[in-house]
Each structure stands twice: as C-alpha cells, then as structure tokens.
Structure 1
Amino acid sequence: MIRPLGVLAPPDPEVARLKRRVTLASLAVALILVALKLAASIMTGSVSILSSLVDSVSDSGASLVTLIAVRQAMRPADAHHRFGHGKAEPLAALGQALFVTGSALLLCVEAVRRLIEPEPVGEGPVGIAVMVFAIVATLLLVRYQDRVIARTQSLAVGADRLHYVGDLLINLGVILSILLSQYAGVTEADPVIAVLIALHLIRGAWKIARGALDALMDRELPEAERDEIRKIVLAVPGVRGMHDLRTRSSSVHTFIQLHLELDPAAPLADAHGIADRVETLLRARYPDAEVITHLDPKGVTEFVPTFR
C-alpha cells in the first residue's frame, strides 16, 4: 500500500559513511597527484605529463563535486523533497562529464600546437618516477572504490572511479611518451599520446553523461530486474496478475510502482494483507526501495499504457 507522505526510508548510515570516506580518499589522492604532476610538468616540459596534470585537475574538481553531491544525496526526505535528494548524484556525474570534455578539448589544442612546434622532453627520470607513484596510488584508490560501489551502487562514485581507471592507462601512456621522446628521439610521440589521452577522456565522459542522463530522465530499471520484480510479485499467494509496472532509480533509492490483480470477491482486509506481503518481499530484495501498489479486481477492464 502507499506509505504516508514524508516517510521514505532514510539512507543506510553505513552506506552514507562508505560514500563519504571514499569521496574524501579520492579528493586527497587527486590533490596529491596534481601537486606532483605540476612539478614534473614544469621540470620536463612534457605535454603528455601536462595532459595527465589536466586530467588530475579535472579529477580533483570532479571528486570535490562528488563529495558535495554524495552528502546532499544522502540527506533524508523532507517536506520539500518527498522523494529524497538522490538525484544530486547523477547531477554531479553530468557536471563531471562536461568538465572532463572541456579539459580534453583544451588538451587537444595544446597537443596540436606541440605537433606543429615540437619541444624536447627533459628530466625523464623525474617524470617517470612521478607517473609510477601515480599508478600505485590510483590502483589503491580504485580497489577501494570497487568495494564501495559493490556495497552502495553509487552512480557518483562509479563516475569518479571511471576517471581513475582511465588514469592508469594515461599514466602508462605518459611513461611510454617520455621513453620514446627522450631516449628514442621520437619527439612526435609526446603530443600524439596526449591526443590519444584526450580522446580517451572524451569517451569516458560520454559514458558518465549517458548514465547520469538515464537517472535524471527516470529510465526504467534493466529488464532483467523488472522480470525479477514480476516473479516476486506473481509468486505471492492470492496475486492473480499484475500490470503497469513502473520503475526508476535516483542512485540512492529505487522506486517501484505496480498494479496488483486480486480476486474481486476477496475481503478488503485480505487484499490489504496480500499487498503488504508483496511490498515486504520487494523491499527485502531492494532494501532502499519505495514500493507503491494499486489494487485492481481481476478481470476489470481499465486503461493500461501500451508500454510494459
């Protein structure tokens, strides 16, 4: 049955704690890498290190936005936000995607300039040492993010993780660029690898934006999950059928609405008990879910949308 207004289940405190910790960790890692890469970029003059620096700057900005968004999203529902604040996370993810895209385009401009006016890369060992440190720090952070995502299914943390997974490839590319430029004399390698890094960033930004837009536009849950919802509902004794299943996710809460088809002769108390059983089972499977059921007598014709 429909819950009273304002009683959306509050976010899990453990989930909130994990999200806060992982966003603080990602911000700390990003700021440390920005400082190190800035120094390495000045010392080496490498545009590929500059590209990695731009990426780390975008990471730090994105991690800060994620930190703020996660704190906002985990606020409980209130009188002005009856469905909670969960959409703060996809909004943050969309902002990250736009920021990364802009940074990548600026990076392409600088890389093209370096192709036209090549500049040698210096202090190769310094640049390589910084990149190796960045790889180790990023690997540790990504492993931590994986554990948090498995527990929380956070869209914002997932978007943040995508940045850092890309960083692993970027840092390896920078090391290759330095080796080719300084030790093999292939000066074009530096800007070419920078362009490849920029294209990788744009591709990752598109993935982030697509997931964020799905959440903001209330896209249905995957069909496999919708099928599982149907199986749970139809297995409840007394349920004769169901229709008009509607689902969406705000990244913090899942929303499930459906019409239950019951015996027309069933007493109201029995129908109420069946609906409560359905909602209890669905919340057991989706602990963060807001479940709304509407009771229909089996066989009564009503308007049903053409989509499933």
Structure 2
Amino acid sequence: MQRRELRVILISLIVSFILTGIKFAAWFLTHSVAILSDALESIINVVAGGFACYSVYLTGKPKDENHPYGHGKIEFFSIGFEGAMIFIAGCLILFKAGQFFFVPSQLEKIDKGLWLIAATTAANLLLGMFLLREGKKLSSLTISGNGKHIMTDVYSSGALIAALLLIHFTGWSWVDPLVSALMGILILRQGYQLLRKSISGLMDETDMQVVEKVIEVMSVHRRPKWIDVHNMRVQQYGNNYHIDCHLTLPYYLELSEAHDELKVIEQVVNKSFTSGDVEFFIHTDPCIPACCHYCQLADCPVRQHEFTGLIPWREENVLPNRKHGE
C-alpha cells in the first residue's frame, strides 16, 4: 500500500511542477497579477507535494521502540504544513492584488495566457479527481489533503479564466486585481481548513464518523455475553486506528473465555476497516446486579433481575466512562 501511496504522490508532484512552469510562462506573457496569484499557489502545490512524499514514506515505516504506535501522526504534520503554506500564499496574493489596485500594470497577450491557463486547469481537474479517489481508497489523509488543495486550485483557475475572458472582450483591466483578491480569500479559507484538520488530529480529537462505524459494526455482531461497552476512545495514526474501550462481561467467565470474546470483537471490526488496521485495547469489566435488566443471557446462572429490554449502543452511552444504566 505504501508503494501505491508514494506513486500517487510522485505523480502529483511531477504534474504540479510542470503546471507551475506553464502558469509562470503565462504570467510572463500577460503580466497579469491574477495569473501570478495562480502561479504562486502552484508553487505551494510543489512544495507541499515534496513534503507529502516524505510523509507517506515515514508513515509506512513499522513500529519501533521509540514509536510504539507507528509513524502515522506525520500525516497530520503534512496537512498542517500544506495548510500553512496555502495560508501564506493567500496572504501574498492579497498583498500583490492590493499593490496592483493602486499601481496597475499593462496587460498583454491575454488570449495566449487564457489558453495556457485553460490547459493547466483541465490537467489539475483530472489530477485532483485522481488524488481524491486514491486518498479515499487508501484512507490517506496526506493524499486527500493534497487532492483538496488541487481542487481549490481548479476552482480558482476557473474564476481566473472567466476573468481573463471578461478582460479580453471588455478591456476592463481593473478586474484583474479584483479576481486576484477573491482568489486570495478562497485560498486563505482552504489553508485554514487544512490547519484546523491538522490540529484536530494532533490533539486526538474524536472522529465521530469512525466512532459511529465501530459502534455499528459491534452492534450488528453483538453477542449475548457482551453486556455493554463504554469509555470508548479512538486515535488515528495514518490509515490505522487505535481504539480502547471497556467491555462488560459476565463476572464468572474464565480468563480464556473472556479472551475469546475480545478476539471476536477485534476480528469483526478489522474486517470492516479494509484500508487499514485497527488495534484494540479492551479493558474487561465484571457485570453487576444492575446489568441484569438489559443482559441478554437467557441461561445466566446468577441472574438477580428479569431481562426488561436491550439497551442499544449509541454515542451517548458508549463514549462516557460508566456502565449503562448507572
């Protein structure tokens, strides 16, 4: 899987490098600040792509004594770095747009620049769609983040093409810095979103979609001896997950029986996460009389209360550190 991720990122890096050169050629031809803004953002694509290559390489390294959970956290550094670079590019673009509002430049050869930008936009659209598809398939935050950045470039380039067409047919040169400023704001927003995702990952913010998926899988395969599950926490390391929780089992089970129940949980959850591994750390809790009313064990030899109804597993009773009904 790592080889495939590296191949995908290298394709992105090479294509971005070529397209950046074409955009700068368009800027030299036209002297358009909007085209310069687009070219500056593409430089970020190249720099971020290089960092992403290293990130994917490091993520694929096996666990060691110094990194017992693996090296997957580097992906959050990668998208944070990319977000910071995008944010800086947005600031530079806004600065250049402000300059050209007061000291406009003479635009030249708009038609040729238009064709060059249209070609790079089409290439970026294909690249962005490819990265988003591969990022989802490989559960790679790095590739997905790179794909979102490329798609932002596509949207801004689309606006740029519309602006160049307007300038070409009307001669309104003031549209050039205006579009550049709008592109800068869009780029700032994308940079902020990537930075926010990076900080969330580094701070181990709970990914509720993953929690919901784990709860759903465990609920579908729920066995009578699994009385309740609570205090669930999920951490992501690259495309792998570390999950710990408390599982309430009948207190009279032998250690080997309890171990078998835990292995079943690990197997059914790992089968549902086909693009990565799930490592479970499960703490077993003994049942108490208060559990009897929702315990499904019909032949329980120590039951003190009748079964009154199953308590479904949901976020509100799986995440807190307490048995159901307490």
TM-score for both structures, normalised by structure 2:
0.84
Letter in 1 for 2:9: T
Residue 227 of structure 1 and its aligned partner are, at CA, apart by: 3.6
Letter in 2 for 1:278: I
Among 236, 243, 250, the alignment partner of 1:249 is 236
**Radius of gyration: which is bigger?**
2
Residue 176 of structure 1 and its aligned partner are, at CA, apart by: 2.2
Letter in 1 for 2:261: I
Among 233, 256, 261, the alignment partner of 2:218 is 233
What's the secondary structure of 1:294's corresponding residue?
strand
Q: Which residues of 2 match residues 165-204 of structure 1 at below 5 A? A: 165-204=151-190
In structure 2, runs of 5+ residues without a counterpart are: 291-317
For the structure 1 residues 168 and 87, does the alpha-carbon distance in structure 2 shift closer, same or farther, using more than 3 Å as the test?
Answer: same
Corresponding residue for residue 273 of structure 1: 260
Corresponding residue for residue 34 of structure 2: 48
Q: Confirm whether residue 164 of structure 1 aligns to residue 150 of structure 2.
A: yes
Corresponding residue for residue 136 of structure 1: 122
For the structure 1 residues 198 and 267, does the alpha-carbon distance in structure 2 shift closer, same or farther, using more than 3 Å as the test?
Answer: same
Take 1:98 and 1:28, find their aligned partners in 2: how far apart are those partners? 21
Corresponding residue for residue 25 of structure 1: 11
Contact 1:247 1:255 in 2 (8 A): yes
Letter in 2 for 1:247: V
Letter in 2 for 1:226: V
Residue 154 of structure 1 and its aligned partner are, at CA, apart by: 1.1
Task: Please give the per-residue CA displacement for 1:114-144, whole angstroms capped at 9, x wherever unaligned.
Answer: 1111222111122111111101211221221
Corresponding residue for residue 290 of structure 1: 279
Contact 1:237 1:274 in 2 (8 A): no
Residue 231 of structure 1 and its aligned partner are, at CA, apart by: 4.3
Residues matched between the structures, number: 291
Among 249, 259, 264, the alignment partner of 1:262 is 249
Contact 2:34 2:160 in 1 (8 A): yes
Q: Confirm whether residue 57 of structure 1 aligns to residue 39 of structure 2.
A: no
What's the secondary structure of 1:248's corresponding residue?
strand
Task: Please give the per-residue CA displacement for 1:155-191, whole angstroms capped at 9, x wherever unaligned.
Answer: 1111111111111122222222222234312111000
Letter in 1 for 2:284: L
Superposition CA RMSD, Å: 1.9
Among 200, 205, 224, the alignment partner of 2:191 is 205
Take 1:268 and 1:196, find their aligned partners in 2: how far apart are those partners? 64
After TM superposition, the runs of 4+ consecutive aligned structure 1 residues lying more than 4 A away are 304-308
Take 2:177 and 2:95, find their aligned partners in 1: how far apart are those partners? 10
TM-score for both structures, normalised by structure 1:
0.89
Residue 291 of structure 1 and its aligned partner are, at CA, apart by: 0.9
Take 1:305 and 1:144, find their aligned partners in 2: how far apart are those partners? 36
Q: Percent identity?
A: 25
Contact 1:27 1:64 in 2 (8 A): yes
Contact 1:121 1:182 in 2 (8 A): no
Residue 258 of structure 1 and its aligned partner are, at CA, apart by: 0.8
Residue 261 of structure 1 and its aligned partner are, at CA, apart by: 0.6
Contact 1:121 1:178 in 2 (8 A): no
In structure 1, runs of 5+ residues without a counterpart are: 1-14
For the structure 1 residues 228 and 93, does the alpha-carbon distance in structure 2 shift closer, same or farther, using more than 3 Å as the test?
Answer: closer
Contact 1:242 1:261 in 2 (8 A): yes
Contact 1:259 1:293 in 2 (8 A): yes
Take 1:305 and 1:59, find their aligned partners in 2: how far apart are those partners? 39
Residue 248 of structure 1 and its aligned partner are, at CA, apart by: 1.7
Contact 1:262 1:298 in 2 (8 A): yes
